[in-house]
Structure 1
């Protein structure tokens, strides 16, 4: 096959593939039908989780977002192969042109309400093009076109797997996880005195047996009691607390949780109307924790799990609140 014919075929493939991608960018997934429902432009400049690709376990039961994240990279690998085959270009020049093109397309998507401008997509698409360019450089080293295509395909798979592995390591390294459960057994009451609550013992709430494992807090005969706890410094935590009104007490009450003056939870409870309940409260940066109890509400197994990076996780299995 002559070089000119090969070039025509490659050019035709590039045009058709570009139109195919443009269709998915602007018209697929019912984008046109959603235009009337959009009330404003969507520009996402700060990417979230762009380091995450679906893991092996995710591929067994992939979600739509897993497939989108993987496809955002894989779908743009061919551009990194086809464009260098048509035009002599360096990696820097190719990537600069490609990124500018993707930025333009993302902007058009947002302005026409056919999608959103998402920097996450720009990063993933550009990564796919970079993988394709690397595969082209590794694969097209001989005059045998078939051998070059096979070598490029294998190189694409190897580079994609390499990126997959690197992204997995980066995602694991920079993603926070819940640390061990820490029971809060040293609250201070409204007078500033230490309070360990009452001794954990079984009781019934809504006809169900409750057996606290760590602590029990209530108003201790008052109408209202406020407990305070200091985390020591600003921490990102999930606060756990179980609550209810014991069956032998026929009253109502409420719980209010604040952190550094910001309210995160207010719940009203009535006797005999609720089964034992649990609240999981996310506190982004908390230091001074305040829990206010009114009426006959009882709290038990109050504690938190701090969000920490994997290298800071303590060894051993974390305790989980019951």
Structure 2
């Protein structure tokens, strides 16, 4: 590479670096929002950095889809431009690049113009690695335009490979809701084992309710508490709540786990529609449901969050 070409590449590198600095520190109204920031933000634990938009997401991409993809693509040019200017090996290049990104992310947080986000560090580094790989594969001849074309094609192929790899990893480590488990299928450590098994139909407002899995009431008492052991699972609890017609409009529901209340509901109008609720519980062991008055709940159950390889 002659001196003229090196100067052109240096100018391109400097201009592109300034552009990246602009997006990192000034774009998206960062300067205007500094006064609204109450403290430094450091996110050291990466979360969902393997998540990239799928093919269906690209048809209607969200801001987060564009952001995740852009965090990788935007840093691919550095993996091409830096090796053109300076002879360097992959590991030396990546170590220096990661150190620079860590410094920039720290400056972002300390100046309140952004946050230190380990997700960004990882995604930016992946983009730089893709660029370096594309450079190694593309610049093999003395023909400049052929090298550029080969590098661009290599970058696209490597990006598709990263995209697919990220998709596999993300799918393997993403939890999804499992099959529905009725609450009365669990061991009941309160009341009696037949709790919830009665599924008589009733009417709330103009809607006829026919429980499919279970139905709970105070069973003629003022207040009844049902207690179940969840086994410290991560799950979503689902239930329906209401007071049947022709009964006194008095009743309440309380749902707690390990002593912490997650839901409290009451109903005074018997013509109201049934209310549906879902509660996210992470690592809860003992579930407690307290019913008072004429309140009823039905089709109470949960879906446990599981990795695909745990099904």
Question: What interval of TM-score do these two structures reach, taking the shorter chain for normalisation?
Answer: over 0.9
The 5 Å alignment of 1:206-217 reads 206-217=205-216
Change (3 A) 1:94 1:198: closer
Structure 1 partner of 2:126: 127
Provide the secondary structure at the position in 2 that maps to 1:152: helix
Q: What is the CA–CA distance in structure 2 between the aligned matches of 1:123 and 1:189, rounded to whole Å? A: 46
Is residue 306 from structure 1 mapped to residue 304 from structure 2 by the alignment? yes
Q: What is the CA–CA distance in structure 2 between the aligned matches of 1:207 and 1:150, rounded to whole Å? A: 68
Q: What is the CA–CA distance in structure 2 between the aligned matches of 1:215 and 1:149, rounded to whole Å? A: 66
CA contact (8 A) 1:187 1:227 kept: no
CA contact (8 A) 1:243 1:297 kept: yes
Structure 1 partner of 2:34: 35
Say how many residue pairs are matched: 311
CA contact (8 A) 1:186 1:195 kept: no
Report how far residue 212 of structure 1 moved: 1.1
Across the aligned residues of Structure 1 and Structure 2, the Cα RMSD in angstroms comes to 1.5
Deviations 1:192-223 (A, max 9, x none): 42123353232211322212111110001001
Is residue 138 from structure 1 mapped to residue 137 from structure 2 by the alignment? yes
Structure 1 residues 204-213 or 5-14, which shifts more?
204-213
Structure 2 partner of 1:282: 280
CA contact (8 A) 1:224 1:292 kept: yes
Report how far residue 274 of structure 1 moved: 3.1
Structure 1 partner of 2:79: 80
Q: What is the CA–CA distance in structure 2 between the aligned matches of 1:69 and 1:16, rounded to whole Å? A: 23
The 5 Å alignment of 1:256-271 reads 256-271=254-269
CA contact (8 A) 2:240 2:275 kept: yes
Report how far residue 312 of structure 1 moved: 2.2
TM-score (normalised: structure 2): 0.96
Is residue 14 from structure 1 mapped to residue 16 from structure 2 by the alignment? no
Provide the secondary structure at the position in 2 that maps to 1:78: helix
Report how far residue 234 of structure 1 moved: 1.7
Structure 2 partner of 1:237: 235
Change (3 A) 1:198 1:137: closer
CA contact (8 A) 1:76 1:126 kept: yes
Q: Gaps (5+ residues) in structure 1?
A: 314-322
CA contact (8 A) 2:189 2:228 kept: no
Provide the secondary structure at the position in 1 that maps to 2:66: helix
The 5 Å alignment of 1:1-322 reads 3-186=2-185, 192-197=191-196, 199-231=198-230, 233-272=231-270, 274-313=272-311
Change (3 A) 1:98 1:189: closer
Q: Which runs of 4+ in 1 moved over 3 A?
A: 186-192
TM-score (normalised: structure 1): 0.93
Report how far residue 266 of structure 1 moved: 1.6
Report how far residue 310 of structure 1 moved: 0.7
Q: Gaps (5+ residues) in structure 2?
A: none
Report how far residue 228 of structure 1 moved: 1.4
Change (3 A) 1:189 1:3: closer
Report how far residue 191 of structure 1 moved: 5.7
CA contact (8 A) 1:187 1:196 kept: no
Deviations 1:219-274 (A, max 9, x none): 0100100111223x221111111010111112222111122222221222223263
